[in-house]
Amino acid sequence: MSWLTTLFKDMKNLFLSDKAKALEHEIATLVVKAAPIVAAISLKVPNKTVQEIAHAYTAYAVQPATSIADDPTSIGNAMLNLGTTLLQKLSPNSTVTALNTAIQLAVATQK
C-alpha cells in the first residue's frame, strides 16, 4: 500500500473514532450557545474598531490578553478571544479548541 493510501486510511479512522464523534457533538452543542454571544458582540462592535472592541471587553468585564493593534488580524483575534472567553463561562469544561471552533462556526453562519 502506498504511503498516501495509508495516510487517507488513517485520517478516515481518526474522523470516525468515538473521540472525534464526541468532539463533533460537543462543538455542535457549543455553536448553539455561541450564536447569541456572536450576535451580541456584533452589535457592540459594528465597525470593528479598536475602540469598540475595547468597550466590548469592558462591558463584559473581560481583561484583554494583549493590547489590540489596529490591524485586521489583531482585531479578529481580539474578537475571537472575547467570544471564546464568554462561551467558556457557559461551558467551563470544554477545551479552548472546541470553544474557538464553535465561535468561528457561529460567526460563519451568522446572518
15 pLDDT more than 90: no
64 pLDDT more than 90: no
Confidence band, pLDDT 50/70/90 cuts, at residue 91: very high
Per the confidence metrics, is the pTM higher than 0.75?
A: yes
In this structure, are residues 33 and 104 in contact, taking their beta carbons and an 8 Å threshold?
no
Radius of gyration of the chain (CA): 17
1 pLDDT more than 80: no
93 pLDDT more than 70: yes
7 pLDDT more than 90: no
Domain boundaries, the chain: 49-111
